[in-house]
Amino acid sequence: MARKRGGKLRFGCREIEALLRAVARGEEIKPFQVAKREVFQQFGIVGTDYDRVFTAIIYKFFRARGLVDKIVAKVTNLDPEKIEDLLTRTALRLGTYLRVLDEVKDENLLEAFHRCVRELIDPSYRQLFDAVWRALEGFEYVPSTRDEELELRYLVPSYLVKLLRQVVENEKELEELLNALNTPLPLGFRVNTLKSSIDRVVRKLRRLGVDAWPSERVPNHVRYMGGVDYTKLDLLRNGEVVPQDEPSALAAILLDPRPGELIVDLCAAPGGKTTHLAELSRNRATIIAFDIFIDRMERLKEMAMRTGTYQSILPMLADARYASRILGEEVADKVLLDPPCSSTGVLFKHPDARWKLTPERLLDTVMLQRALLEEAHRILKPGGKLLYTTCSLLYAENEGNIKWFLSKHPCYEIVPLKGPYEESRFLPGAMRAWPHRHGVSGFFYVLLEKVYRC
């Protein structure tokens, strides 16, 4: 059994197996944090020093995941994805991270990792694992281009670096943005004014030792730093607060739901914006909430019950691309569209998302977003309003989509947004929230009015 000696952790094969299997499980289950917690509970290391050290390693590993694969391919001329055995594939990747990219390079951990892991993997792969381990000794990854240099420094793929360069003003700002995408941001709660007040929530959080303060930009929103145990938080259990980033909590306010309106939320689950729409209308609007995923819809229903907004929300488990076939055309007074996106504005929260973006995936995402915009147009009444938002920083998913939409549908006009963030320099009247300028997740907003039928 591993013990702590001389202030340093000692690693036995049971601890190494917990680390390896947590990462392997994280390759299969998203978010990887859930997989890690399950495995650590199984191995009995939750809350221990091993939990703390391994959690940091796992988080940094997934943040560097794509670069790890580049190094493995460089050393072995082998695509790690071609290795069928999951545990072996994970061992090669994790070993590469620990030997090359991890700034700590704990010799005790490295020795135990090599010794224990080779006994855990499929015996037919041990020779390959040993060969890679030897090849990595003293290996240094040297970037060959400016974008690869930024990729290594900020662990953001060079493809994404190129895309982000298109939306900033110069190289200095690009690095400021890349740095911000790796910097922890304050978390947030939206205060449910049907049940509580911002003063009460701030006061209760501070009594729990949480550094909490009211947002200066978004009404009834609380920002905080530090850990909060959601399972023990009465404010959350009672529906007084909803976990929500500051930029996300602004969306429903911009759409301005009114009593008597029929509002359609086309990509609603897990329900933060949906329940906010109901709350702001004091439960006197009708909110039709579309989502295609059963588990996420169950979370929406639970949130609606907890927040006391269930009576004005109609869950619709269906593909929003067919909303007009289900509801009919020109039925909605307002539509909220917060479609699936690249999540490039929230990379700190989803560190593995950065390596999933490819030109093909971005094109598929943009095509889905445009299909949903078309459906929003079909169900919106003349005189109605459509709010389009994403947590993406990319031009193609934001201004590019809206310019395409307006070219097809001249009956729409942009309703200018006057803050609290910055006007888009690519589309007057639209708005962007920036991690490096505002200290929040990256977000895009545009409010469109359907002036006449077209």
How would you classify the pairing of strands 380-390 and 332-337? parallel
Please tell me what DSSP assigns to residue 182: T
Element (H, E) at 33: helix 32-43
The amino acid at 413: E
The residues that bridge with 314 in the sheet, in sequence order, are: 288
Q: In whole angstroms, what is the distance from residue 433 CA to residue 353 CA? A: 19
CA-to-CA separations, 386 to 189, 195, 250, 337, 452, in angstroms, rounded: 25, 28, 15, 7, 13
Considering all CA atoms of the chain, what is the largest pairwise distance in Å, rounded to the nearest integer?
A: 75
Q: In whole angstroms, what is the distance from residue 366 CA to residue 358 CA? A: 12
Q: In b/e form, how buried is each residue of 418-444, taking b as 16+ CB within 10 angstroms? A: eebbeebeebebbbbbbbbebebbbbb
Catalytic residue, chosen from 116, 267, 341, 391, is 391
Give the residue among 20, 1, 23, 15 at the shortest CA–CA distance from 46: 15
Question: Position of tokens 């933060």?
Answer: 272
Q: Evaluate whether 415 touches 449 at the Cβ level (below 8 Å).
A: yes
Q: Is 13 a catalytic residue?
A: no
Backbone angle region of 125, left / alpha / beta, with phi > 0 → left and psi within -120 to 50 → alpha: alpha
Q: Evaluate whether 146 touches 158 at the Cβ level (below 8 Å).
A: no
The amino acid at 185: L
Q: How is residue 387 written in tokens?
A: 């709010």
Please tell me what DSSP assigns to residue 334: E
The residues carrying an active-site annotation are: 391
